């Protein structure tokens, strides 16, 4: 097998692996009522027991994120944690 063919096959395999791993990272959604907010503002717990980690990059109005707020959140599972990408707070 020529060296060029081997390099091409390796490249195709690498692309397939990357695309496969990206496809497995899917966003999920959850709705609920906030039961608790971490004092540092890095996580919330919903009434259904779901805990969402809130990175600095998440789209959320942190001042409105208080216990009793009804929310709809998009998140991804990372290292066993649900990491929010956006949290929408229902108006009262």
Rounded CA separation 89/23 (Å) = 28
Look over the chain and give the mean of its residue pLDDT values, rounded to a whole number.
Answer: 83
Query: Does the predicted TM-score (pTM) go above 0.85?
Result: no
Q: In the prediction, which pLDDT does 14 show?
A: 52
Q: Pick the closest to residue 89 from 12, 44, 33 (CA basis).
A: 33
Structural domains of the chain, ranges and CATH numbers in brackets: 28-89 (2.40.50.320)
pLDDT digits (tens, 9 = 90+) for 48-84: 999 999 999 998 998 999 999 999 999 999 999 999 9
- Measured in degrees and rounded to the nearest 5, phi and psi for residue 6 equal -65, -45
Rounded CA separation 66/45 (Å) = 11
The answer to whether residues 70 and 90 touch, using CB atoms and an 8 Å cutoff, is yes
Stretch 20-29: mean pLDDT, rounded? 66
Rounded CA separation 32/7 (Å) = 50
């Amino acid at each position: 097998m020529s060296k060029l063919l081997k390099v091409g096959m390796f490249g195709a395999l690498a692309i397939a692996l990357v695309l496969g791993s990206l496809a497995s990272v899917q966003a999920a959604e959850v709705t609920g009522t906030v039961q608790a907010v971490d004092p540092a503002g890095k996580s919330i717990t919903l009434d259904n027991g779901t805990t969402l980690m809130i990175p600095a990059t998440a789209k959320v109005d942190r001042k409105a994120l208080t216990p009793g707020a009804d929310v709809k959140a998009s998140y991804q599972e990372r290292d066993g944690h649900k990491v929010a990408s956006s949290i929408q707070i229902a108006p009262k």
